[in-house]
């Protein structure tokens, strides 16, 4: 396994406040929330960034997005949330394991910073 904090969380080897998990993904609360609801949705498969995803990942990526909608509804933000992928350092990616940020619970500005 790569030395990767999100792989460790997915494997149960590092602590996280998990809100949903299934065979494809684990979703857990962000340690440094940027909104009242801030969940990270992470594939179990170690993919460093969205740019590294391959055609064979398409169905799994679709299921991640479906999970985002389900989690948003469960957490009471189904009527207004944002799903964000920071891809690469210039976009603010700090953890090199693909993750979707699910943000909600406050008014979200556009354009994002």
What residues make contact with ligand AMP under the rule CB under 6 A?
Answer: 5, 16, 30-32, 40, 86, 92-95
101 is catalytic: no
Question: What is the SS3 assignment for 100?
Answer: strand
Nearest to 21 by CA among 5, 10, 13: 10
The 3-state DSSP composition of the chain as helix, strand, coil percent (nearest 5) reads 30, 20, 50
Q: How many residues does the chain have?
A: 113
Give the shortest CB-62-to-ligand AMP separation in angstroms.
20
Q: Determine which residue in the list 68, 93, 97, 102 makes contact with Zn ion, applying CB under 5 A.
A: 97
Give the shortest CB-59-to-ligand AMP separation in angstroms.
23
Residue 46 binds: one of Zn ion, ligand AMP, none (C-beta under 5 to 8 A by kind): Zn ion
37-43/100-104 β-pairing: antiparallel
E strand residue ranges, 13-98: 18-21, 25-29, 37-43, 81-84
Q: Is 4 in the site for Zn ion (CB under 5 A)?
A: yes
Q: Which stretch binds Zn ion (CB under 5 A): 6-14, 54-62, 65-73, 101-109?
A: 6-14
The residue among 32 and 109 lying less far from ligand AMP, judged by its C-beta, is 32
Which residues are near Zn ion by CB under 5 A? 4, 6-7, 46, 97
């Amino acid at each position: 396994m790569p030395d990767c904090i999100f792989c460790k969380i997915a494997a149960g080897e590092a602590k996280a406040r998990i809100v949903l998990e299934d065979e494809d993904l684990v979703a857990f609360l962000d340690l440094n929330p940027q909104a009242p609801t801030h969940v990270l949705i992470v594939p179990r498969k170690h993919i460093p960034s969205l740019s590294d995803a391959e055609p064979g990942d398409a169905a799994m990526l679709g299921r991640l997005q479906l999970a985002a909608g389900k989690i948003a509804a469960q957490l009471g933000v189904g009527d207004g949330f944002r799903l964000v992928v920071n891809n690469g350092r210039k976009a603010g990616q700090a953890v090199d394991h693909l993750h979707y940020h699910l943000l909600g619970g406050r008014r979200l500005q556009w354009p994002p910073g």
